[in-house]
Amino acid sequence: MVIATLTALFLLFGGSKMPFTQSLDVTIKQVKTFVPDAARREQALAVLKQMEDLGKQSQKDRKAFEKTLEPLGARRGATMEELQTAYKSFEPQESTVIEKSFALRFQLKDALTREEWGKVFPPPAPAGPPATAKP
């Protein structure tokens, strides 16, 4: 469950560091550029603002949780059960963030046309042949 939670969070909020998704900043810029209808553009930007706020709050909550784990993690005698118990107190909070994130993603999808979605989230460029070293 921990891996699934972290993967979902990285997919939703870690885009600037990961190659398979773009950051919210890029998405906001793309929406401003490619969505001509003012009402739908504002709707999409409002959804993106909610995503940004959710991501910031999630990061704060995660940092607070990590601080509570530091003493436990630093203790050599800490058991797996103690670590699992600590995580179980945080897991419902993370699950809520993931559910909200997915709901916001579908709200954004509903705000954009298929063509706009394709421009805002262009497919990745196909990987070319590997570069060869020059002699």
Annotated domain spans of the chain: 24-120
Helix (H) or strand (E) holding 91: helix 80-111
Q: Which tens digit of pLDDT belongs to each residue from 30-44?
A: 999 999 999 999 999
pLDDT mean over 9-36: 72
Between CA 13 and CA 3 the distance in angstroms is 15
100 Cβ contact partners less than 8 Å away, ≥ 6 residues apart: 54
Tell me the percentage of the chain whose pLDDT exceeds 90: 51
> What are the φ and ψ backbone dihedral angles of 11, each rounded to 5 degrees?
-65, -35
